[in-house]
Structure 1
Amino acid sequence: MLASWLLAAVHLLAFGYAFASILRRSRGLRRCTTTEDLPAVFSADNGWGVSALVLIVTGVMRAFGGFDKGADYYLHEPLFHLKMGALVLILALEVAPMMALLRWRLACRRGDVPDLTAAPKYSRIGAVQAVLLVVMLFAASGMARGIGAGAGVE
């Protein structure tokens, strides 16, 4: 019971940190015009990456690791499917910004100036990802209140 509670708490805290990090990265990308702007973007991106990893690990543990209601509950819960659909979209949207930020980091390490013309596009992608994180939270909140096929505490 204690492990389940702690996993749920860490999972929810990771949502907050992920949301703040993706908004920070998006704001930084929107304003990014020179390499001097990149350290703040990279820092926010690191926070986004760590929080996403924590979300995924704690989520898998809760759903399939025997710490919570179990896989049968989650796999038959429509809001869980909504939550996972939003996660898949977030991850799919992340491919382009992630690859660009990796290229930019490498360019900066080599002393080159990266092409930052796509930064505003990646900022808009981050805004969509932030909305999808909110969708995930609404789905989790609904599951916790028994909305959908299952009932119980999220």
Structure 2
Amino acid sequence: MLTHWFLAAVHLLAFALAFWAVLVRGTAFRRLADGVGEVRSVLIADNIWGVSAVVLLISGGMRAFAGYEKGADYYLHQPLFHLKMTLFVLILLLEVAPMVTLIKWRIALARKAPINTGRAKLFTRISHTEALLVLLMVVAATGMARGVTFG
């Protein structure tokens, strides 16, 4: 029982950290686009966003499919779980362009080469959209926890 509680707490805290990190990253991108920010701030927030996403994926997978919660059958037949996973996939799709760009930035920094920040405004919007999707995932999760069903 303690393991279930701990895993649920880690999962919930990872949502909070993910939301905060992606918002901070978006703000750091905006400051960079406005000429007052630093690439380092974007990269630090991105690292935290990435770690929190991995924690969400692992803790969520364990809760849904490793016997720590209601079981895979429950989740696979729960419409809110499908909504939550759809939102997660949308985040992953939105994340492709910033992720590739930030990998290139890290390589450029290591080589002491110039960094093209021309898409920083776009990445601001993407980050803030991802933050909204994370919030919607939390709404779906709370519905599942309360046994909300449709039909």
TM-score, normalised with respect to structure 2:
0.95
Q: Could you tell me how far apart the structure 1 residues matched to 2:144 and 2:85 are?
A: 13
- The residue number in structure 2 matching 1:23 is 23
Q: Could you tell me how far apart the structure 1 residues matched to 2:37 and 2:129 are?
A: 26
Q: Could you tell me how far apart the structure 2 residues matched to 1:49 and 1:104 are?
A: 16
Work out whether 1:97 is the aligned partner of 2:98.
yes
- Residues 106-149 of structure 1 deviation map (CA, whole Å, 9 limit, x = unaligned): 11111111110001101100111001001100000111111116
Structure 2: state its 5+ residue gaps. Answer: none
Change (3 A) 1:98 1:15: same
Asked if the contact 1:35–1:113 (Cα under 8 Å) also holds between the matched residues in 2, the reply is no
Asked if the contact 1:63–1:71 (Cα under 8 Å) also holds between the matched residues in 2, the reply is yes
3-state SS of 1:32 partner: helix
Q: Could you tell me how far apart the structure 2 residues matched to 1:112 and 1:49 are?
A: 24
Change (3 A) 1:39 1:12: same
Tell me by how many angstroms 1:100 deviates.
0.2
Letter in 1 for 2:74: Y
- The residue number in structure 1 matching 2:74 is 73
Q: Could you tell me how far apart the structure 2 residues matched to 1:146 and 1:61 are?
A: 19
Name the % identity: 52
- The residue number in structure 2 matching 1:85 is 86
Q: Could you tell me how far apart the structure 1 residues matched to 2:149 and 2:82 are?
A: 11
- The residue number in structure 1 matching 2:4 is 4
- Residues 14-55 of structure 1 deviation map (CA, whole Å, 9 limit, x = unaligned): 000000000000000011146960111100000000000000
Q: Could you tell me how far apart the structure 2 residues matched to 1:4 and 1:77 are?
A: 20
Structure 1: state its 5+ residue gaps. Answer: 150-154
Q: Could you tell me how far apart the structure 1 residues matched to 2:56 and 2:4 are?
A: 14
TM-score, normalised with respect to structure 1:
0.93
RMSD of aligned Cα (Å): 1.3
Of stretches 101-110 and 10-19 in structure 1, the one that deviates more from structure 2 is 101-110
Letter in 1 for 2:4: S
Q: Could you tell me how far apart the structure 1 residues matched to 2:80 and 2:39 are?
A: 37
- The residue number in structure 2 matching 1:107 is 108
Asked if the contact 2:28–2:37 (Cα under 8 Å) also holds between the matched residues in 1, the reply is no
Of stretches 14-23 and 27-36 in structure 1, the one that deviates more from structure 2 is 27-36
Q: Could you tell me how far apart the structure 2 residues matched to 1:60 and 1:116 are?
A: 35
Q: Could you tell me how far apart the structure 1 residues matched to 2:99 and 2:140 are?
A: 26
Q: Could you tell me how far apart the structure 1 residues matched to 2:4 and 2:73 are?
A: 16
Work out whether 1:14 is the aligned partner of 2:14.
yes
Task: Tell me the number of residue pairs that the alignment of Structure 1 and Structure 2 aligns.
Answer: 149
